[in-house]
Amino acid sequence: MKAAETYLQQALQPGDYIDSDHAEIRGFVASQAVGATHQERAVALYYAVRDQVYYDPYSIRMEPETMRASNILAQGRGHCVAKAVTYAAVCRAAGIPARLGFADVKNHLTTPRLRELMQTDIFHYHGYSEVWLNGRWVKATPAFNLSLCERFGVLPLDFEGVNDGIFHACDREGRQHMEYLMDHGPRLDLPWDELVETYREYYPVIALTEQGIGGDFAAEAASEINKAH
């Protein structure tokens, strides 16, 4: 078997974190993977993960089991890395090769409290997914659910399975929204140790909080928008 074929087979197999063989994942796929082609199913699953798993950076906990796709799906919330893991898992369960990608980005959706905790506006190891569709890898970023985008006043990120789905540079009013600084490349599963080391270096307050930060990120977002208007 050629190396490329072997790699695609690996991108279909369950991982420690991308646990695509878990009953929680398979049940989700059975109800949400609508479509006759891989592209159609990948798109349907993208919107299901984007909008049914709420973006919540306060849910981060430095315990490996909390970053498994089945657990994230059961909890119904997670930050960008968690949602990328989940999307990769449901795609694999639907027979679509998938992997993870990581990039450092600036001006990620945030609130004053989150900025204070992070002490920076750079999000190291922002997570996205890549799916193999029509003979090539396509990026998909299911991080921000539609309701959160509406509260923040930013454009929701759509995905049609052809073009890379990466964050918009500007929001609805033309203000800078996201800047990609560095790409760390693809991974077949979550590089847990690498991620923990990065968080401990750049976000010690978050990394050292075993039970999670706590708080309502969506409510904070709504409060900021109300103040602005």
What is the average per-residue pLDDT within 185-213?
85
pLDDT exceeds 50 at position 77: yes
What is the average per-residue pLDDT within 121-131?
93
State what percent of residues in the chain have pLDDT above 90.
Answer: 63
pLDDT exceeds 90 at position 86: yes
Kindly report whether the global pTM for this prediction surpasses the value 0.85: yes
What is the average per-residue pLDDT within 183-208?
90
What is the average per-residue pLDDT within 127-134?
97
What is the average per-residue pLDDT within 106-124?
81
Q: Are 121 and 115 in contact (CB under 8 A)?
A: yes
Pairing of strands 77-78, 54-55: parallel
Q: Which contacts qualify for 65-71: CB closer than 8 Å, 24 or more apart?
A: 67/17, 67/190, 67/192, 68/16, 68/17, 68/19, 68/22, 69/17, 69/18, 69/19, 69/20, 69/22, 69/25, 70/19, 70/22, 70/23, 70/24, 70/25
Q: Which domains are delineated in the chain?
A: 3-221 (3.10.620.30)
Q: Where are the beta strands (DSSP E) in 47-149?
A: 54-55, 77-78, 98-106, 122-133, 136-140
The residue ranking higher by pLDDT, 150 or 192, is 192
Chain segment 87-96, per-residue pLDDT in tens = 999 999 999 9
pLDDT exceeds 60 at position 76: yes
pLDDT exceeds 70 at position 135: yes
pLDDT at 110: 74
The listed range with the strongest mean pLDDT (8-22, 103-117, 148-162) is 8-22
* Average pLDDT in the chain: 89
Chain segment 204-226, per-residue pLDDT in tens = 877 666 566 777 777 877 665 55
What is the average per-residue pLDDT within 108-112?
73
What is the average per-residue pLDDT within 2-25?
96
pLDDT at 1: 60
pLDDT at 13: 98
pLDDT at 229: 45
* Per-residue confidence band for 162, with pLDDT thresholds at 50, 70 and 90: very high
